[in-house]
Amino acid sequence: MSALQHRPSTIERLTSKLGDQLLSLHERQAFGVFTWIGERMGIKSSQVRISFIYLSFITFGSPIFLYLVAAFVLRHKEYFKPVKRVGTIWELSD
């Protein structure tokens, strides 16, 4: 093995694996609220995140409640979709 080749040590492999797991955990727990808002408004999700951070500092963290409500709605959005109505009984008799 030459001096230029580097084999990662056990600690480097474990920290890399742990870092990947933490990133995966963060991506699963982030709910996708900022991405959804960015797509709906046609702006980058990073700009939405930055705006949220600034707004949270200015308003002492009150947008966090709005974020949690949006996360709940996005998580259960199939229950919030309008129900397609078939019609009334009078329309069925025709």
pLDDT of residue 54: 92
Report which of residues 51 and 17 the model is more confident about: 51
**34 alpha carbon, distance to own chain's centre:** 6
Q: How confident is the model at residue 13 (pLDDT cuts 50, 70, 90)?
A: low
pLDDT of residue 78: 80
Q: Where are the domains of the chain?
A: 32-92
Report pLDDT digits (tens) over 19-67.
Answer: 666 555 555 556 788 888 888 999 988 888 899 989 999 998 888 899 8
Alpha-carbon distance values, 12 to 22, 44, 73, 80, 83 (Å): 15, 34, 40, 46, 53
Q: How confident is the model at residue 75 (pLDDT cuts 50, 70, 90)?
A: confident
